Structure 1
């Protein structure tokens, strides 16, 4: 189905590097960065950010499985639909956690007179909106996969 197996190989390498980077951040960098913060903030931020990273790792696993289906020319199967649905759910959960965490930070900033600064809410607005884009794109792609699967089934019946 794919004209070049190099594309799949390069994507797998990129996915492996991204997963390794996220695991290093999850296990080493994030706890160290939050060590000097107040306990309530450290626990909340560690929980939210860790769950967001786990959601992204789940997306990486799902994409890896979809690449396997592409290589086997089974991308229009029910199995592919399940993996795409898993990606949508992982992205939705990760986005909801990120948005909720940002909302809590913004609330703390605005309710604490010493911290009241529009820079932090504006800085959080960008990542929240930008992280919504992959979710919305995946919903469109899921619809396209369903439509293409229907066309493929019709074509198989004709042949």
Structure 2
């Protein structure tokens, strides 16, 4: 992966993280106030704002893990055991985001939300679960590549001894 791609992706991550902090600091409190004005019960406000806040946190954790993986790519050490921890966390963040999205859909069922909106949110939950599964498959590819890299290093070492 080229340096320009890594730098560009890191810039996107920085912008996303700044935006997520803005969401946490100003937009979520505004949503709380708007829900209060709309006469949503306290438990509904707590649930909706908490789910939204947790969803933002999953995005932030995901962004930090991608940043760390990009750092490993730049150093040429992405095929190392330390990469697995970041990939595992990424899988967990997508799984958590999927559950949070489904909780949001379930919370909207008794309210005035249109059934189609609830269905779309359930679909988004399914897509997030699918991404978690896709990253799991990609993790297994990383495991295979890491194992092969170790085999290649061992063969090179043996060949160096012979030569």
TM-score for both structures, normalised by structure 2:
0.84
Give 3-state SS (helix, strand or coil) of 1:76's partner: coil
Aligned position for 1:85: 88
TM-score for both structures, normalised by structure 1:
0.86
Contact 1:95–1:132, Cα closer than 8 Å, also in 2? yes
Contact 1:58–1:90, Cα closer than 8 Å, also in 2? yes
State the alpha-carbon separation in 2 of the partners of residues 149 and 56 from structure 1: 27
State the alpha-carbon separation in 2 of the partners of residues 28 and 116 from structure 1: 25
Gaps of 5+ in 2: 157-163
Aligned position for 1:32: 30
State the alpha-carbon separation in 2 of the partners of residues 120 and 91 from structure 1: 21
| TM superposition shift of 1:95 | 1.6
Aligned position for 1:141: 138
Corresponding pairs, count: 151
Aligned position for 1:16: 14
State the alpha-carbon separation in 2 of the partners of residues 128 and 59 from structure 1: 17
Q: Does 1:118 align with 2:107?
A: no
Aligned position for 2:161: none
- Using the TM superposition, name which of 121-130 and 92-101 deviates more: 121-130
Gaps of 5+ in 1: 110-114
| TM superposition shift of 1:116 | 7.3
State the alpha-carbon separation in 1 of the partners of residues 28 and 120 from structure 2: 19
Contact 1:52–1:94, Cα closer than 8 Å, also in 2? yes
| TM superposition shift of 1:120 | 2.8
Bigger CA radius of gyration? 2
Contact 1:35–1:42, Cα closer than 8 Å, also in 2? no
Contact 1:52–1:95, Cα closer than 8 Å, also in 2? no
Q: Does 1:7 align with 2:10?
A: no
How far does the alpha carbon of each residue in 1:29-73 deviate from its partner, in whole angstroms, 9 at most, with x for none? Answer: 122123132222111111111111101100100010111111111
